[in-house]
Structure 1
Amino acid sequence: MSDDLLPIGRFARLCRLSVKQLRHYDDLGVLTPAWTDPASGYRYYRPAQARDALMAGLLRAMDVPLPVVARVLSGDDGGALKQARDGIESDIARRRRGLRLLDRVLAEGLPAAEVSVVGEPARRVFVARESATPSTIPDATSACVRRLLPRMSPDGLLVGLFPLDMAEEFDVRVAVQAADGEDVLPGGSFAAAVHVGPYEEIPLTVHGVLAWFGDYGHAPAGPVREVYLNDPATTPPEHLETRVMIRVGDDQ
């Protein structure tokens, strides 16, 4: 063993990390000790490793994932830090949307949507789909809309399709009505309510419609449909109108 090696406790104090953290970094291959005593398993580090350890602690304090930290310390960043930054920014945006929803609930109470049962015909549509997680639904929906832009007509309905059961990962779909559409959007009886306000607050109306199913003992059948009734490019967010529709599945 070299005389310049530091035991794990002293190295931890030097780098403002805990012994537990250093052991965890070693187990994952993020920061390997310079030498490990084969008899005791005790770990030792070189003072020159402090720079990497301090960088690891700094990045973890900023919620950078450990696999990204490992890539940075190995010198193979490859844009990983930029991706981590984008992920944190997306999480902040999601939390801000949650705060705005919470503010509305605090101001107005739990949602109570005006629900009516409507008949909806089958429609021919073109469909775009994107994989999403609960936090990336807005981005996935926007990506679908961009792909459908060449197929949109001024009077064609634009419909978002979202699963009732939210898994960790799922498909978001957006359909645009077209006479020569390659797919068919099924018709039937739907519980419907009009949401007025920003798209990010649509979940309040969705919850209101689902509460109607519970109140009247009906079974909902997915997906949740969001029919966008006006153009967000020319309509202020507070005046956007979206028809939320969930199929009544009692007869299935």
Structure 2
Amino acid sequence: MTATVPIGEFSRLTYLTIKTLRYYHEIELLEPVSIDPGSGYRFYSTAQVDQAHLIKRLRELNMPLPEIKAVMAAPDQAARDAAIRAHLERMEAELVRTRDVVASLKSLLLPSARISVEYRSVASHPAVAMRKVVAREDCGEWCEYSFGSLYERLAAVDLAPAGPGGATYAPSFFEEDRGEVVTFVPIEARHRDRFDAASVLDLPARRFAIAVHAGPFTDFDRTYGALGSHVAEHDSALTEPIRENYLVGPGDADPTDYRTEVCWPIGRL
């Protein structure tokens, strides 16, 4: 059995202010079951209490109002639950990101550890590769997709990588938050004819100053800052893409175990 109550009573039942209930009516999120034609006073059904509670919790989870409207308009319970689960997954990912940023910020309060820099001359070698101009915010998603595609190509011809996968980042990627990113997986030269020519890239021979970044990418900028400063103070950098080698990366381990070589080009062989 349900009952109809005035807006003030409904406010007490739902812990939503009258001002909020009026606003939700205006945007057609939670509409009263009837409005007195003379006074304009709003009345709600007790059957709407659960809806109001759901809206309140979704707002506490920072779900945008358009998304809440979509949840409330879902054709059935399964569709509604799926929309809520998707938002919760996004929030959980944001919590992980926040945790990592907090840890990184705390590390800034500690004395900087001296970075270990290795110098290495790397010969030219072939790799299967994909390239795309990518915005920084989309880089992680694109790298995940492209590496998946590259390793699938190797598996299709029953080949193992000749070394760890990596990527190069054009200067504009850092300067403008958008630039060409080339993902690659090394192969042996004798196997290059097993791929179409367009998908094989010859990475140029270079001499690098190299530092290893341990852990997730949240404080990647600190490794870049330390290595780049070392190069500026002791060497002469080339204005060309920086190369990263993913010794242990996504798909291989927990983020705390990631190990990434940052390779700063300082000379041609």
TM-score grouping bracket, smaller chain normalisation = 0.5 to 0.7
- Cα RMSD (Å): 4.7
Give the corresponding residue for 2:215: 198
Q: Supply the AA of the counterpart residue of 2:6.
A: L
- 2:105 aligns to what? 102
Of 155, 162, 168, the residue aligned with 2:162 is 155
DSSP 3-state at the match of 1:46: strand
Q: Report the alpha carbon displacement of residue 220 of structure 1 after superposing the two structures with TM.
A: 8.3
Contact 1:164 1:223 in 2 (8 A): no
Structure 1 165/186 Cα, relative in aligned 2: closer, same or farther at 3 Å? farther
Q: Secondary structure at the match of 1:126?
A: strand
Question: Retained in 1: the 8 A contact 2:128–2:200?
Answer: yes
Tell me: CA distance 1:140–1:47, structure 2 relative to 1, closer, same or farther (3 Å): same
Aligned pair 1:87/2:104, yes or no?
A: no
Give 2:186's aligned residue: 177
Which stretch of the first structure deviates more once superposed, 23-32 or 49-58? 23-32
Match of 1:125 in 2: 127
Deviation at residue 87 of structure 1 after TM alignment: 0.6
Unaligned runs of 5+ in 2: none
For the structure 1 residues 120 and 80, does the alpha-carbon distance in structure 2 shift closer, same or farther, using more than 3 Å as the test?
same
| Aligned position for 2:16 | 17
Shift of 1:104: 3.1
TM value normalised by structure 1: 0.66
For 2:176 and 2:114, locate their aligned partners in 1 and report how far apart those are by CA, in whole Å.
Answer: 22
Larger CA Rg, structure 1 vs 2: 2
Q: Does the 8 Å CA contact 2:249/2:259 hold for their aligned counterparts?
A: no
Deviations 1:182-214, CA, capped at 9 Å, x for gaps: 153764877643124224353321232344577
* 1:159–1:226 Cα contact (<8 Å) kept: yes
Corresponding residue for 1:145? 147
Q: Identify the structure with the greater helix proportion.
A: 2
TM (norm. structure 2) is 0.63
List gaps (5 residues or longer) in structure 1. none
3-state DSSP of counterpart to 1:244: strand
Question: How many Å apart are 1:165 and its aligned residue?
Answer: 5.1
After TM superposition, list the pairs within 5 Å mapping 1:56-71 onto structure 2: 56-71=55-70
CA positional deviation for 1:17: 1.8
Amino acid at match of 2:127: V
Amino acid across the alignment from 2:31: T
User: Structure 1 residues 16 and 175 mapped into 2: Cα distance closer, same or farther (>3 Å)?
Assistant: same
> In structure 2, how many angstroms separate the alpha carbons of the residues matched to 1:94 and 1:124?
35
